[in-house]
Structure 1
Amino acid sequence: MCMGTLINVITSAVVIESVSTEDKRGDLGSMKCCCWILISLLFAIDKAIGAKQPNVLIILTDDQDVVLDGMHPMRNVKNLIGSAGATFENAYTSSPLCCPSRASILTGKYAHNHLTFNNSMSGGCYGSHWRAKDEKHTLATILGNAGYSTFYAGKYLNAYHGLEVPPGWQHFFGLHGNSVYYNFTLRENDHNVSYNNVYLTDLLRDKTLEFLDQRDKEEPFLAFVAPPAPHRPFTPADRHRGAFNNTKAKRTPSFNKVDKEKHWLLATSKEIPEETLSLMDSYFEKRWESLLAVDELVASIVHKLQQSGELENTYVIYTSDNGYHIGQFAQPFDKRQPYETDIQVPLLIRGPSIKPGVTVTTPTLLIDLLPTILEWIHLPLDPQMDGQSLHPFLVNADSYDAAADMYYNRGLLVQHKGEGNLRTYRSECPMWKPEDRLAECTRESACHCQDSWNNTYACVRNFAYGINHLYCEFQDDEDFAEFYDMYDDPQQLRNMAKQMLAIERALYSLALKNLTKCAGAASCSIHVF
């Protein structure tokens, strides 16, 4: 029996035993502790007999879409990761907003289980619950306990301004606050360092290359690199300014279209004025330009691994925390909406046992990444994690098509808690009042507010044989719902909720009720029909 299998068998037995003693709270805590101590011990034995655990490299961009051709600038990413591995066609975030999505990636959990619902402290972003509970059991702590050298560089969580290094990260270069490109502060292990005329993406590249040069080569590594692009303020490196001159925002069928059949925030909108449309074109251009430095970062890191002979034993993951819209349904520029522009994300993976140039059609969530990594490194899947391993779909990608599998069925939960309240009112948009409880209302966006209290929803993105649906329920005064058949209406132009059969709507509503209460992969694997 190989050591990886031995680790899996023994630690799985410990997990099973701990679950069987669930009613004995003290015993349960002890068993969990013993489980991870045993994992670490077995890993040390594994290393001692010469087995080589794979390395893991994650590059996480900020607000990079798929639908609006956000991958267009990424020539190196597509060649060095996609062509050398797998490209996912149906990858989604479970929360189309930075902080909850990043918390989900780190924990493998839905937002209702890690309680980070939006980018505000009151919404759980780097809040007390996160720091006291979920941050202590993340990708970093799990792999660190298993003998990995762990490295983080870039944006962590939006509300992070801490003096402490988050648990598990042995080499930490975390950005204070939200994404910026110049004039920022990093928490560099035990102290803060402020930078002025340094481009953040380039600095993150250099920090990562330095880590790869100086680390203990006898230990496998986890490196998590989180550059700011293409998040606002959309600042490209000087060398890339003008690279996409005269590029305009994609005029999709929903571009600047006011849709009265959408939920309140969108239905009450107005067409975007011409001067704002010009600004949006400029932002679209700069988003692409800001990504060119990320593309160079990826090339530099991959080439470094190639030179050191470690590339073939390294899983490389490239993805984004959420998508983005620019002009769709008369919303100028943001995320937070339950439509494909905002919830679909790029996902490309290369590594051992993954065949080059394959396409994965299996519907996927970002919460699936951590369970997948655990399978790669022969650790048992944690039953508290809501995601599921993608490894079987990755290794069989050239022979498996989820859309053609009459037995495949998975409902993906997408959820968001609107940030609008009395305190988010901005006087620069006097047409709105504090009691409207709107958020992200600026002159820059022609006072088209990007969020509101009733932009709070739960959706199921449902995939099954012959089925490709999105069903959403909003927490508002109307019990508003939206339903789209994505085969017939991929642009989501026709809300068919009122035309649904009563039994169909009841089944979707029941699925949402179960999904928003689920905890653990077993209870979160829900079929709508």
Structure 2
Amino acid sequence: MRILFLDLDSTSPDHLGCYGYHRNTSPNIDKIAAEGVRFNNYYTSDAPCAPSRTALMSGKFGIINGLVGHGGTAGDMKLEGRTRELMGKLSSGGAFPTYLSLAADLNTVLISPFAQRHSTFHFYAGFNEILNTGKYGNESAEHVTPVALDWIQRNADKDNWFLYINYWDPHTPYRAPAPFGNPFENDPLPEWLTEEALDNHKHMVGSHCVHELNIDFRNKSYHSRPSPNFPRQPGEIQDMSDLRRMIDGYDCGIRYMDEHIGRLFAALEDQGVMEDLIIVISADHGENMGQLGIYGEHATADQGTCRIPMIIRGPGLKQGIADEGLHYHLDLLPTVADLLGQPAYPEWNGVSYAPVLREGADCGRDYVVVSQCAHVAQRSVRFREWIYIRTYHDGFHLFDQEMLFNLAEDPHEQRNVAAEHRDLCMEAVYYLNQWHDEAMKANPDAADPLWTVMKEGGPFHARGYLPEYIKRLEATGRGHLVPELVRRHPEEFPAEPNRNAGLLQARIGARMSGN
């Protein structure tokens, strides 16, 4: 058995041709989709990068494995504790690559710098070969493809391997080299991204809104300064020209990556292994391109961030079909075990969807729960045509505590209808509580890491940013937003721990009026 897994960072299915996008961004990916199974309602359980890949490789929800954020206690997996054996669970079958090695005798190979990017070294667990492309996830495809081609030319004709390749080009900052040009300069923008939509987005606040597309990690600030090193990436979106630059930059990243993927496929053809090769194409998360008024970021537990592509093509599997069932990305692990005729690792949280691949049978879940604790603290429930989003920390976006979107009528999440459908919100909360109860039963220490994040000061990409952001809001004529931000987030002013929200608002108001 030979398996190629392509992990395409920040790739939204909304921007792939095989998922209905009007631009020709992904001809090589589309060809594989036409030969296999395309999953239309496939979700990461935990976003963004580190939580998603940790959940996938461990087969466990973030609420159980412990890693749900990008810093603090929840930036690491939970320790196994006193029951840990000589070899921990990641080395005895719990990690996906380990399982493939033990259950199917596959040589497991990783081409990725990801573990180094987020200090998630458990990501390496079970790989026999690790090729770090060395730029902490700032790679372009031209840095990844030569490493992959070298391995393919030396090894592809051997039996029994699993090759995991990580591409980064759709991740900000958009980096397709200038000679690549812009194949989309004459293509229209997505129909829904109108001047009216942009005007509505100008009233929104928080990182990666149209006014602040970039984050300065060193100075803990959100800003609109463009980088001369990345001319495809704007610093703000104030008109339709800026909006085109943003969308074109993202789409060029996908197309540039797709052309490099085509080179891999050509090399595999030359090695004579494409016919019996299982190809899996997916992503760690999607990318908001206007959903919730956010651009170029994966910062929420919503449809834009958490819905991901999943395409599987291989010998003996169904061809040219689309599955509409609800699935998690970590369902892949028991699915592969099922296809191998082996029992799944007992602690995995996934459910096999092998019947889809074998017979085209519907075996989707009734609902899925997705989480985000790195930029905001949210959990969401996707059920039928709805997504319900519950916010515990808004990441300074001033989101409502409850949001509900009808994805059949409003796929880009522009109109919150929670107030109009209290019955559906209550149904979603029931599902959320049911999921939480089951997760906590399986939790070794009975601790929910979302609340660890909250107790440690909030999501990593919001923690400590509000003081500088208040200065920016005042300087850019948006000071009217400050009192509500301060009221919601008094924890951001640790020097004044005993002051209540009203006093903080008064202080800010006095400064704004010049008193």
| TM-score w.r.t. length of structure 2 | 0.68
Question: For 1:520 and 1:173, how far apart are their aligned partners in 2?
Answer: 37
- Cα pair distance change 1:239/1:151, threshold 3 Å: farther
Counterpart amino acid of residue 475 in structure 1: Y
Which residue matches 1:22?
none
Of 492, 511, 515, which aligns to 2:431? 511
- Cα pair distance change 1:162/1:323, threshold 3 Å: closer
Q: CA deviation at 1:249?
A: 5.3
Deviations 1:349-396 (A, max 9, x none): 100222322222222221112222222222211231111122101222
- Cα pair distance change 1:93/1:216, threshold 3 Å: closer
Which residue matches 1:211?
151
Counterpart amino acid of residue 114 in structure 1: N
Which residue matches 1:228?
168
Of 412, 417, 440, which aligns to 2:368? 412
Which residue matches 1:5?
none
Which residue matches 1:500?
421
Which residue matches 2:296?
333
8 Å Cα contact 2:210-2:295 kept in structure 1: no
Q: CA deviation at 1:117?
A: 1.0
Aligned residue for 1:516, secondary structure, equals helix
Which residue matches 1:140?
97
For structure 2, the residue ranges without an aligned partner over 5 or more in a row are 214-235, 444-515
Residue 353 of structure 1 pairs with residue 321 of structure 2: no
Which residue matches 2:228?
none
Deviations 1:108-136 (A, max 9, x none): 22211222212335432578789996754
Which residue matches 1:458?
379
Which residue matches 2:108?
150
Of 464, 477, 487, which aligns to 2:408? 487
Which residue matches 1:82?
33
For structure 1, the residue ranges without an aligned partner over 5 or more in a row are 1-53, 182-199, 403-407, 420-450, 524-529
Question: For 2:63 and 2:357, how far apart are their aligned partners in 1?
Answer: 28
- Cα pair distance change 1:129/1:213, threshold 3 Å: farther
Which residue matches 1:58?
5
Aligned residue for 1:304, secondary structure, equals helix
Q: CA deviation at 1:231?
A: 0.6
Within 5 Å, give how 1:115-514 maps onto structure 2.
115-120=66-71, 122-124=73-75, 135-136=90-91, 137-146=94-103, 147-157=105-115, 159-160=117-118, 166-175=124-133, 178-181=136-139, 200-215=140-155, 219-245=159-185, 250=190, 252=192, 255-256=197-198, 258=200, 275=238, 278-397=241-360, 400=361, 409-417=365-373, 419=374, 451=375, 455-462=376-383, 467-476=384-393, 480-501=401-422, 504-514=424-434
Deviations 1:33-55 (A, max 9, x none): xxxxxxxxxxxxxxxxxxxxx21
Counterpart amino acid of residue 434 in structure 2: N
Equivalent pairs counted in the alignment come to: 402
Which residue matches 2:479?
none
Counterpart amino acid of residue 459 in structure 1: S
- Cα pair distance change 1:274/1:170, threshold 3 Å: closer
8 Å Cα contact 2:66-2:77 kept in structure 1: no
Q: CA deviation at 1:59?
A: 0.3
Question: For 2:390 and 2:248, how far apart are their aligned partners in 1?
Answer: 34
Q: CA deviation at 1:225?
A: 0.3
Counterpart amino acid of residue 231 in structure 1: H
8 Å Cα contact 2:7-2:282 kept in structure 1: yes
Counterpart amino acid of residue 371 in structure 2: Q
Q: CA deviation at 1:283?
A: 3.3
Aligned residue for 2:63, secondary structure, equals helix
The two structures, once aligned, show a CA RMSD in angstroms of: 3.8
Q: CA deviation at 1:78?
A: 0.7
Question: For 2:283 and 2:406, how far apart are their aligned partners in 1?
Answer: 25
8 Å Cα contact 1:257-1:328 kept in structure 2: no
- Cα pair distance change 1:292/1:520, threshold 3 Å: farther
8 Å Cα contact 1:258-1:270 kept in structure 2: no
Question: For 1:217 and 1:269, how far apart are their aligned partners in 2?
Answer: 49
Aligned residue for 1:518, secondary structure, equals helix
- Cα pair distance change 1:237/1:259, threshold 3 Å: closer
- Cα pair distance change 1:174/1:112, threshold 3 Å: farther
- Cα pair distance change 1:274/1:251, threshold 3 Å: farther
8 Å Cα contact 1:180-1:232 kept in structure 2: no
Question: For 1:125 and 1:159, how far apart are their aligned partners in 2?
Answer: 13
Question: For 1:121 and 1:158, how far apart are their aligned partners in 2?
Answer: 17
8 Å Cα contact 2:111-2:165 kept in structure 1: yes
Question: For 2:190 and 2:156, how far apart are their aligned partners in 1?
Answer: 46
Q: CA deviation at 1:316?
A: 0.2
| TM-score w.r.t. length of structure 1 | 0.66
Aligned residue for 1:336, secondary structure, equals coil
Question: For 2:359 and 2:442, how far apart are their aligned partners in 1?
Answer: 23
- Cα pair distance change 1:294/1:505, threshold 3 Å: closer
8 Å Cα contact 2:70-2:118 kept in structure 1: no
8 Å Cα contact 2:110-2:165 kept in structure 1: yes
Question: For 2:144 and 2:421, how far apart are their aligned partners in 1?
Answer: 49
Question: For 1:372 and 1:395, how far apart are their aligned partners in 2?
Answer: 11
8 Å Cα contact 1:88-1:346 kept in structure 2: yes
